[in-house]
Chain A
Amino acid sequence: MADLSDLALIRRIAARDEAALETLYQRYGGELLGTLNILLRDPLASEDALQMVMMAVWQNAHTFRGESAVTTWLHAIARRQAMSANRKTRDIQPMPDEDLLTADAPEAEADGHDALHAAMRHLPEMERLALDLVYNHELTLAQAAERLGIPVNTVKSRLSRARTALRRWLKHEENDYVR
């Protein structure tokens, strides 16, 4: 099962193969959960949302037409699920202000790595998702673009923009490269 292609797994899931769903889950659950964590900012809600995503996969696998990569489809479901969950809780928990990058947020007073980490939370979601996919899940930019459903050049320009936005928190220090 582990050596099956994504598409083969989806076809098996459509035929109600539970092991195939488990395999797909092991293969992509981590990056989906990472995406949900970023979008929902709540680990428990993310785990719930991940189950809902897998339920959607289980119920809708037969509708997957193979016009996009399986990973594109999975992440699209996850993002939809997150947006839906966010809408339900928006009345209760106001979303963090996205403009803090340009404001003097208290976090900006903190120092070094923590400050950078805090500042990154205010990057646009697409950029945070891309960073998560690339640095936590070791995907290439092309793979990240596939997950995000956007052209790879867009990912590149977004990441370039992210570094520019974060420059204020980046240390300009001599690195350890030998001349």
Chain B
Amino acid sequence: MSGEPRHHITEAMFVEYVADTLDMADRRKIEAHLMTCESCRQTVSEWRQIASAARTGKPSLPPLNWRLIKGDDPMIIERPMTAMPRQPVAVRRFNFAFPMTFAALAIAAVTLFSLMGGPSGEDGNFGMVGQNQQNDEATATPLTPLMTPTPTAAEPIVFPTATPLVLELPPTIVAPDDIPLMTPTPALSILLTPQPLDPYNMVNQPEYMVIVVAAAADIAQGSVIKPEDLTLYAIDERFVPENLRITPDALIYRIARVNLACGQILMPNMVAENAHDITPDAADFTLSENCAAVKKSHVQAQIPFQYNTVRYYITDVSHPAVYYTRELPAGHTITADDVTVRNVPVPELIPSGAATSLDAVIGQTLTTPVIEGQAAIVE
């Protein structure tokens, strides 16, 4: 090891030698070299001094503050936004060519997806996951329906009109000429803000916003969706799944297939092109009160967009729920590919009884058909 090993030893090795993180072979090599090299001894000496000054000791760890981490700490919820977008995202009014991604995120939720079930909706068993068709409460871990049947829900459904809904647009609503009614949803790209909102704070500020379409008001099943019924949410790009994409023009002047709750993020399968596609909802509901509460508790700021109405900036996205990733028939045993966990920005939009972990759902057998984007309900 004598001779001229100088060139085999870098300063980095001295750093690690002093830190004692070298392996034995390298240690031996350095020690042998130091025997013969005065200048390297000086280097090591200097690194020992630096190391001694740098060694302030490991700080003792405080216990985790679970209230804060889980968002239960009101300090966090009420903390004002520190940086809002400084400039509105350029969105051309009524030129729906702007790139848009659609989130399947906060889907569905309070709304029933009885689209596949047809008449099965009448017994209130939509979207139900269970181990038997009878929903026998005595069996192990019986799973409950999406919406627990109530006396109201159990009553025969009275669809608003016995005849098919009028398909023509109401005279007060005129579709702009440049919006073809039946445009297929264009290929999607993600709309990013020109600059990250605040790249240094992952806790409160999304790096990128993705615009998703949501209901600005309750939209009754069967009604024509007007531009003013829609709003856009800006959601952290990281929380937006990629499998569902939509633009407002895929929704405007379409017909709501199901009751749409204020604040709900809309998916393509929630609208129909004509009323014949609509299966009556089993339960009617209104979220008018909830809408205000949702905005108050979860929407931290408004973004002045140029599109038709106010956009909300949702930062609280920590509510997990299990959703189906595809259409599944009744009797299907759920596999890991059939479900996914999504974080929903607004907990009110998660149906009660929705599974929060995949383990609760995988292996269970569906008692009713389900569709993509529907929440998996278990007890």
How distant is the Cα of A135 from the Cα of B52 in the complex, in angstroms? 8
How distant is the Cα of A140 from the Cα of B23 in the complex, in angstroms? 10
How close is B316's CB to chain A, nearest CB, in angstroms? 9
**A16/B356 in contact, CB under 8 A:** yes
Q: Which residues of B contact A56 (CB under 8 A)?
A: 202-203
**B358/A15 in contact, CB under 8 A:** yes
**B19/A135 in contact, CB under 8 A:** yes
Which of B57-65, B132-140, B210-218 forms contacts with chain A? B57-65
B4-30 near A? 1/0 per residue, CB < 8 Å: 000000111001101111000000000
- Tell me the chain B residues, 46-85 only, with Cβ under 8 Å from chain A: 46-59, 61-62, 64-66, 68-71, 76, 82
**A135/B69 in contact, CB under 8 A:** no
How distant is the Cα of A178 from the Cα of B31 in the complex, in angstroms? 10
Which of A1-9, A29-37, A94-102, A103-111 forms contacts with chain B? A29-37
Asked whether any CB of chain B lies closer than 8 Å to the CB of A63, the reply is yes
Q: Size range of the interface on B?
A: 35 or more
A33-B61, A60-B238, A136-B57 known; A159-B12 Cβ under 8 A: yes
Closest to A178 in B: B35
Asked whether any CB of chain A lies closer than 8 Å to the CB of B264, the reply is no
Closest to B46 in A: A170
Q: Which residues of A contact B76 (CB under 8 A)?
A: 55
The one of B10, B50, B70, B199 that contacts A170, using a Cβ cutoff of 8 Å: B50
Asked whether any CB of chain B lies closer than 8 Å to the CB of A173, the reply is yes
Q: Which residues of A contact B50 (CB under 8 A)?
A: 116, 120, 131, 135, 162-163, 166, 170
Q: Is the interface of A mostly helix, strand, loop or mixed?
A: helix
A40-68 near B? 1/0 per residue, CB < 8 Å: 00010011001110111011101100000
Binding site for B on A (CB under 8 A): 14-16, 18, 21-22, 25-26, 29-30, 33-34, 37, 43, 46-47, 50-52, 54-56, 58-60, 62-63, 77, 79-81, 83-84, 87-88, 113, 116-117, 120, 131-132, 134-141, 155-156, 159-160, 162-163, 166-167, 170-173, 175, 177-179
Binding site for A on B (CB under 8 A): 10-12, 15-16, 18-21, 34-35, 41-59, 61-62, 64-66, 68-71, 76, 82, 198-203, 238-239, 317-318, 320, 341, 343, 356-359
